[in-house]
């Protein structure tokens, strides 16, 4: 017997600190002046290229990002540091990711009205894990007093939709009845703030989703039946980060810029749009649904121009902001959490029986789509 599955609650943790494009660009340009001055003899004799300045107009036009929330502002803007300064925690303190994840999880649990003792599993699905082990998910499970099992998974920006499919399949088959998925993302920790091409891309946040077996005709407020999920991966080096446990065995590479996020943004833009659009169209077709019936498109939040083109291709016309809400202007790219933030903030405007999608895409390449129908 197959069970029906619902999303019964979502939660969001937003960091207190915020950096506008103007503040970020001021700091980057100060770093450029300092770099060019301290390397002036090499630049003058032609053996080194000077760094070029960044511009907030370019950032907003090319990406749609206006600001981002961050776990630590002062470290990022300090031109002698240029990364979030997070004091190392002892082993008896809660980890950074678990701490923000628990805040989002508590809101999701409250919104879902699920009894903690009915949750059987916790999955942390995100693009950067703070340590190798024990799993952050097990730490969150412990903090919340959840019985059952927990594990971490990483599919970069698509982690949340892949996490939803994993839980959807477990609940559908009957191996569990309810699970919590958490997406804690401290994306500023892997961002190269000295790289003009991408220093503006990411922000920090955590989201959480509670999924439950549907209980006959009894529907919870603000709940959404999952009608189906569809995932796709295809290997690409165009978004990559070589940080990993073997770095210690290759000390010659430690501290090099390939151990942080780097990408070929133009290629990503061109290659990913058709993959995402086709996957959404195929998925709707497989479920005998029409794009015209969609009342919500909660898309991955990496680049506003990309989302405009994806919705155009799927719908045959441009989507309004009501249909495809934008959160990246305020939050920037928050990796796996982006589409969940959009769903969390905007899905309450859907009416009973409205159809919507939650769609993610990113490194891998990876693409994931979840079709939902509001049930109450
Ligand atoms: N400030 C001012 N100018 C900048 C700049 C900055 N910070 N960064 C780049 N430029 C310049 C470049 O030097 C280039 O100048 P040129 O035309 O004189 O050579 C020009 O702007 C265009 O650069 P390009 O890198 O082609 O920009 P773009 O329009 O492709 O936008 C991204 C860059 C990253 C915003 C865009 O490619 C993107 O978002 N791609 C998708 C990435 C994505 O979704 N990744 C997933 C991550 S999980």
- Encode pLDDT of 184-202 as tens digits: 999 999 999 999 999 999 9
- Per the annotation, the verdict on 157 as an active-site residue is yes
pLDDT for 121 beyond 80: yes
pLDDT for 234 beyond 90: yes
Partners of 12 in the β-ladder? 207
Catalytic residue among 126, 157, 187, 359: 157
d(CA 236, CA 364) in angstroms, rounded, equals 6
DSSP 222-263: T-EEEEEEEEEE---SSEE---SGGGGG-GGGTT-GGGS-EE
Q: What is the pTM of this model?
A: 0.97
How many CB atoms neighbour CB 165 within 10 A? Answer: 19
The residue nearest atom 48 of ligand 1, judged by CA position, is 362
SS3 content of the chain, % helix, strand, coil (to 5): 40, 25, 35
- Encode pLDDT of 201-210 as tens digits: 999 999 999 9
d(CA 369, CA 341) in angstroms, rounded, equals 15
Q: Which helix (H) or strand (E) holds 12?
A: strand 5-13
The residue nearest atom 1 of ligand 1, judged by CA position, is 54
**Pocket of ligand 1, candidates 22, 56, 62, 261: which has the most ligand atoms within 8 Å of its Cβ, to mutate?**
62
- Encode pLDDT of 31-87 as tens digits: 999 999 999 999 999 999 999 999 999 999 999 999 999 999 999 999 999 999 999
Question: Rounded to the nearest whole angstrom, what is the distance from the C-alpha of residue 309 to the centroid of ligand 1?
Answer: 17
Residue ranges per structural domain of the chain: 224-374
- Encode pLDDT of 288-320 as tens digits: 999 999 999 999 999 999 999 999 999 999 999
Question: Rounded to the nearest whole angstrom, what is the distance from the C-alpha of residue 84 to the centroid of ligand 1?
Answer: 23
Task: State both tokens at 372.
Answer: 């939902």
Whole-number average pLDDT of the chain? 97
Class of domain 224-374 (CATH, top level): alpha beta
């Amino acid at each position: 017997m197959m069970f029906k599955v619902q999303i019964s609650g979502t939660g969001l943790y937003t960091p207190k600190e915020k950096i506008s494009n103007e503040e970020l660009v001021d700091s980057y340009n100060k770093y450029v002046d300092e770099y060019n001055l301290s390397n002036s003899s090499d630049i003058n004799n032609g053996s080194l290229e000077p760094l070029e300045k960044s511009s907030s107009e370019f950032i907003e036009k090319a990406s749609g990002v206006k600001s981002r929330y961050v776990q630590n502002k002062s470290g990022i803007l300090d031109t002698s540091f240029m990364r979030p300064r997070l004091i190392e925690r002892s082993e008896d303190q809660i980890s950074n990711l678990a701490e923000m994840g628990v805040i989002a999880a508590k809101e999701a649990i409250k919104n879902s009205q699920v009894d903690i003792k009915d949750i059987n599993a916790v999955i942390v699905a995100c693009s950067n894990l703070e340590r190798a082990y024990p799993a952050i998910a097990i730490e969150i499970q412990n903090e919340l007093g959840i019985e059952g099992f927990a594990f971490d998974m990483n599919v970069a920006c698509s982690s949340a939709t892949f996490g939803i499919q994993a839980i959807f399949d477990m609940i559908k088959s009957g191996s569990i009845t309810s699970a919590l998925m958490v997406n804690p993302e401290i994306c500023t920790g892997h961002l190269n703030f000295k790289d003009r091409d991408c220093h503006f891309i990411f922000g920090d946040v955590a989201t959480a989703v509670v999924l439950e077996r549907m209980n006959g005709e009894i529907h919870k407020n603000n709940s959404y039946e999952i009608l189906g999920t569809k995932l796709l991966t295809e290997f690409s080096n165009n978004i990559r980060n070589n940080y990993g446990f073997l770095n210690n065995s290759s000390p010659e590479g430690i501290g090099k810029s390939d151990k942080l996020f780097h990408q070929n943004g133009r290629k990503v833009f061109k290659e990913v749009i058709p993959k995402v659009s086709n996957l959404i169209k195929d998925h709707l077709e497989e479920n005998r649904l029409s794009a015209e019936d969609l009342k919500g498109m909660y898309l991955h939040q990496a680049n506003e121009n990309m989302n405009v083109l994806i919705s155009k291709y799927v719908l045959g016309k441009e989507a309004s902001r009501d249909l495809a809400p934008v959160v990246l202007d305020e939050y920037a790219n928050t990796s796996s959490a982006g589409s969940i933030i959009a769903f969390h903030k905007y899905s309450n405007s859907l009416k009973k029986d409205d159809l919507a999608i939650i769609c993610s895409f990113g490194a891998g390449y990876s693409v994931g789509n979840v079709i939902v129908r509001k049930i109450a």
